[in-house]
Structures are given as structure tokens and as C-alpha cells.
Structure 1
Amino acid sequence: MLQKIIIATTLTMAVTAAAQAADDTYNLNFNEAVQQAVADGTLDGSVKFYLASKGRGKIIQSGVVTNKKTNSFGKSPEVACDWVLRSALIQLQNTAKKKGANAVTNIVSYYKSKETRSSTTYECHKGAVIAGVALKGDLARL
């Protein structure tokens, strides 16, 4: 009985520690990540992505949000963040194509509904077990 209590306590402490693990913010090159995803076929290239830029083309739908997470355990921030960004971009690409758009413009990082605007980087948050990227942008026809 005592052994079961010790195991349960240890597991509870481990889960609590993992849940409270650091959530570090990384600002990584957006265009490089998009170009690599197109080059290796993750994205088909039919939809263009533009950070923090207004006024490109006719806006079809504004304020489209994607919020993706991935397992980051044992992965470097660059690998985990690239993986989760690709997932977010795939969702935006598919949504744009369904709506008749060929671009996503005015993209901002949107982690926990807080906008972070950059013309060069996207924001990724990586903890001990989960990495996340949230983006908000406008679907447009160029």
C-alpha cells in the first residue's frame, strides 16, 4: 500500500512539474520556413503568405485564426517550431483554397489571443512537452 502511495505521489509531482515547465518564446524566420515547406512539398505553393502586410489584393475574409500544437519532447526549438508552423500553414493554405483565396496577408502571431506583429519572424512557444504556434491573417485574392 505504501509503495502505491509513493508511486502515485511521484507521478503527480512529475505531471505537475511538466505542466509548469518553462514556456519559452522563440522568434524564428518566417520566410525561410515557408520557402523550405514549399521546396519539400509540404505546401503546394498555390497560396502565398505575407507577414504584417496590409493592402495586398482583395480581402475575402479577415481575421482567420489557426492555433496549432505539437509534441516537443526531446526536440530542439527549431525542429518543434518548424513542425508546428507547417501544420498552421497547411491549415491556412487549405482554408484559403476553399474560400477562393490565393494568399494569406497581414499575418501576425496570435499566441493566447495577443497579436505580435513582425515583418520577418513568427512567434513560437515551446515548453517541455508542447510547442505551439498561433497565427491570424486575412484571406486575399491577389
Structure 2
Amino acid sequence: MKNLVPIFLFAVLAASTAQARDTRLHLDFAEAVKSGLSDGTLDGSVSFHLAGAPTPAISKRLGVANSNRKTNAVNKSDEEACRWVLMSVLLAMQDQARSRGANAVVDITSNYKKQEFSSPTQYECAAGAIMAGVALKGTYATVSR
């Protein structure tokens, strides 16, 4: 019986590690923002611009933007959970931008678990069996419209 205890503990640890999925997805940012605008999740008062993407002329930079959110991914596709959590991040940034007098967030990069991912067209989302997460950083700014 003593010999079975280490085997049992190893089996439990191996099973829990196997279930801990953290898949990194790179998804279309403009499509997600467009969807958020069309369904009313985002109100259009703040525009969002990934680093390296075309950005209107910046007249003033108003500080660092950071938002990191997670959402329940149970019974959702990875893409659905990622869109949901991205909207949560963008809503937080939209509210913070307005409170600072900004009308844009520029130079946005993904920063999940402090690992930077930069693309002019995509954001990074980490999807697991239970949770999905998005972390973005950028700069609050006023831009010409």
C-alpha cells in the first residue's frame, strides 16, 4: 500500500497539469472592434489603434493605458470567450480614456502575463478550459478625427 501512494499522487498531478490549457490565440482586432461598435458594446467615443497600424494625428498623449481582464470560458468557443474578454478590456480603456479627456488609445500591444505581442492587425488572447484572458497596454491620447 505504501508503494501506491507516490504513484497515486503522481497520477493526480499529471492529470491536473494536462487539463491546464493556456492556448495563445491571435485574433483580428479591427473585426472585434467593429463588432463591438455595431452591437452597442462600445459607444464610439474612443478609437483604438494597435501599434504599427495607421493612426490619426496625435495632438496630445495623456498617459499609460493598461487593462487586464479574464472571463469565464466554460461552454464558449475560444473565439467567443476571447471576444467577450476583449470587449471587457476595451470598455475599461474607453471609460478611463474619457475620464482623462482622451478620445483614443494608441500604440496598443498585447501584454498577457507580461509577454508582449505586437501586431498591427491582431490581439493576443489566452484561452483555457475554464478562463480566457486579454491584457492590453497602450497610451491614452487625443487624435484628430
Give TM-score, length-normalised by structure 1. 0.84
Structure 1 residues 20-29 or 88-97, which shifts more? Answer: 20-29
* Corresponding position: 1:98 with 2:99: yes
**Which runs of structure 2 are paired with 1:29-40 in the superposition (5 Å)?**
29-40=28-39
CA distance in structure 2 between the partners assigned to 1:60 and 1:78 by the alignment: 32
RMSD of the TM alignment (CA)?
A: 2.0
- State the partner residue of 1:133: 134
* Structure 1 SS opposite 2:140: strand
* Structure 2 SS opposite 1:137: strand
Q: Is this contact kept in 2: 1:18–1:129, CA < 8 A?
A: no
- State the partner residue of 2:63: 61
Unmatched 5+ residue regions in structure 2? 1-7
Distance verdict in 2 for CA 1:102–1:19, change over 3 Å: farther
| Between structures 1 and 2, the one with greater strand share | 2
* Structure 2 SS opposite 1:119: coil
Query: For residues 73-121 of structure 1, what are the alpha-carbon distances to aligned partners after superposition, in whole Å with 9 as ceiling and x for unaligned?
Result: 1211110000000000000000000000000000000011121110000
State the number of aligned residues.
129
**Which runs of structure 2 are paired with 1:45-60 in the superposition (5 Å)?**
45-53=44-52, 56-57=57-58, 58-60=60-62
| Between structures 1 and 2, the one with greater helix share | 1
CA distance in structure 1 between the partners assigned to 2:31 and 2:48 by the alignment: 12
Distance verdict in 2 for CA 1:90–1:50, change over 3 Å: same
* Structure 2 SS opposite 1:33: helix
Distance verdict in 2 for CA 1:90–1:73, change over 3 Å: same
CA distance in structure 2 between the partners assigned to 1:23 and 1:113 by the alignment: 15
Unmatched 5+ residue regions in structure 1? 1-8
- State the partner residue of 2:27: 28
Q: Is this contact kept in 2: 1:28–1:121, CA < 8 A?
A: yes
* Structure 2 SS opposite 1:25: strand
Structure 1 residues 114-123 or 48-57, which shifts more? Answer: 48-57
